[in-house]
Structure 1
Amino acid sequence: MRAIILSGAGRYADPWHPYAETSARLAEIVAEAGFDVEVREDVDAALAALDDDVTLLVVNAGDPDRSSEDGSPLPADAPASAVDDGPLEAALERGISILAVHAAASSLRDVDAFDRAIGGRWEWDLSWHPPLGEAHVHLVGNHAVREGLDDFTLEDERYSSLQLHDVIEPIAEHEEDGIRHPLVWAREIGPSRLVYDALGHDTRSYDSPGHRALLANALDWLRRVPAPTAATVAGA
């Protein structure tokens, strides 16, 4: 099984996240799950040349509409980069898995196929997070990804008020000011599968045993593509 990690660099970099370090940790975790892993920092080129043998796409990249130097919004007249999302659209139709982590909620904004697949977004005027610190992760629901897992605590950012634009299957939440916020969710898009994991600010997150156990479960579920459709199940 072949996996590609899209790692924040160039217009997908930002001043807050050490993407090279976290992508290296992710590569270790994904390889432990049995995938042949390649890390790509040329995000647009990697998407445009997405081969049919790619089973898993990991998105660990930032917002292309923000300055990679200070995080400020790019001017309205900044030249737009054309991204060919045809290969990702075709991959979603044939069956591919996507693991989107942390800042991926604000990434690939000009890739319609990814926007549709992820199910929720970081919106700058609405989404926020408390200062990085101790995060209590509450497992919820009965999805296969949370099977056998217990709540855990780690040092991380706690993304809050992510804006959902489609149905999700919640897997984990955190509580802030008495409000539960989704942290991890799963989606099935036809024969394809996606897990979004809002954790992962830096390598401390990926060194957490609880987080690694959650990712191992997520990768086990994601490797089973193409996912059975309702028609397939009915005809079985």
Structure 2
Amino acid sequence: MSRILLFSGGGDYADPWHPFAETSALVAGTLRASHHDVTVVDTLDALQESLDDGDLLVVNAGGGPTAHPLDDRLATIVSGHRGPLLALHVAATLLPGHDEWEESLGGRWVRGVSMHPERGALRLRAVSDSAVVSGLEPLDTIDEAYSWLRVSPAAEVLLVHDYDDTEHPAAWTLDRDGRRAAYTSLGHDPAAYESPLAGALLRRLTAWLTADVPA
């Protein structure tokens, strides 16, 4: 069992597009069912207060079209976490003015470049022999297909989807300097977590991040 701190949007980081309270509750429920101890916070004060108590930091929050007024403080808080990191869906858009976030995560949403087509049927493909995605089925879901994300060459892309005749990373892991991080673009809304894929990937990435499975 790991102690997991889940930073959720909806408090200090709210937006009109994502039902963070609902998706974070589903994420927490999935992880608790895997016998993890999960604490959910949605303010920077609570995040800072609880950061040292977590073995794994999960981020289910994102930024809007412009930098958030609390970004500098969030960047400072997150930089104090040296353990494993799991970013979900819109978390790739966080901290656009802070390169450290992209370096820690292994990629990001690039404003003016990245986009997603209308939410709908999404089919992914495994492109790695990592144990995280070995035998992972089915690979169909209903979600937003984040496209043209920027991903570090140091990251290992696990899943991709095809859009506009181009292959786009949908999930990856990063193991650099003894620190593990992972990202999945799945999880826009509660319906996305009704798919077996979103929950299974969440569990597998968490197991890898907490060193319960090999790379």
Q: Report TM bin, short chain.
A: 0.7 to 0.9
Structure-1 separation of matches of 2:121 and 2:165? 16
Is the Cα–Cα contact under 8 Å of residues 153 and 210 in structure 1 kept in the other structure? yes
- Which residue is equivalent to 1:73? 66
Aligned residues: 213
1:3–1:56 contact (8 Å) kept in structure 2: yes
Q: Quick one: which amino acid aligns to residue 4 of structure 1? A: L
Q: Sequence identity of aligned pairs in percent?
A: 36
**Structure 2: how far apart are the matches of 1:102 and 1:198?**
4
> What does the per-residue CA deviation read over 1:96-133, in whole Å, with 9 as the maximum and x for residues that have no partner?
22110100000134555433211111112000111000
Q: Does 1:145 align with 2:145?
A: no
Q: Does the Cα contact within 8 Å between 1:47 and 1:84 map onto a contact in 2? A: no
1:150 Cα deviation after fit? 3.0
Q: Which is further off, 48-57 or 184-193?
A: 48-57
Aligned residue for 1:3? 4
| 1:110–1:4 CA distance, 2 compared to 1 (3 A) | farther
CA pair 81-209 structure 1, distance change in 2 beyond 3 A: closer
Q: How does 1:80-229 map to 2 (within 5 A)?
A: 82-83=72-73, 85=75, 88-92=78-82, 96-109=83-96, 113-224=100-211
CA distance change for structure 1 residues 128 and 112 in 2, over 3 Å: closer, same or farther? closer
TM-score (norm 1): 0.80
| Deviations 1:23-71 (CA, angstroms, capped at 9, x unpaired) | 00000111122211111110x32443354341111110010xx3xxxxx
Q: Partner of 1:48 in structure 2? A: 48
Per-residue displacement from partner, 1:108-167 (whole Å, max 9, x unpaired)?
A: 345554332111111120001110000001111111211221352111000000022452
Name the CA distance, whole Å, in 1 between partners of 2:125 and 2:77.
36
8 Å contact kept, 1:33–1:220 = no
Counterpart-to-counterpart distance in 2, 1:3 and 1:38:
6
Name which of structure 1's ranges 49-58 and 139-148 shifts more when overlaid on structure 2. Answer: 49-58
1:141/1:11 Cα in 2 relative to 1: closer, same or farther (>3 Å)?
same
> Are the counterparts in 1 of residues 127 and 158 from structure 2 also a CA contact under 8 Å?
yes
Which residues of 2 match residues 20-31 of structure 1 at below 5 A?
20-31=21-32
* Deviation larger for 188-197 or 98-107: 188-197
Q: Secondary structure at the match of 2:154?
A: coil
Q: Tell me what 2:59 maps to.
A: 59
| SS at structure 2 position matched to 1:12 | coil
CA RMSD of aligned residues (A): 2.5
CA offsets 1:74-105 (integer angstroms, 9 cap, x no match)? 6xxx966541655644432xxx2211010000
In structure 2, C-alpha distance between the alignment counterparts of 1:167 and 1:189, rounded to whole Å? 8
- The reply to whether residue 16 of structure 1 matches residue 17 of structure 2 is yes
Is the alpha carbon distance of 1:22 and 1:79 closer, same or farther for their aligned partners in structure 2, counting shifts above 3 Å? Answer: closer
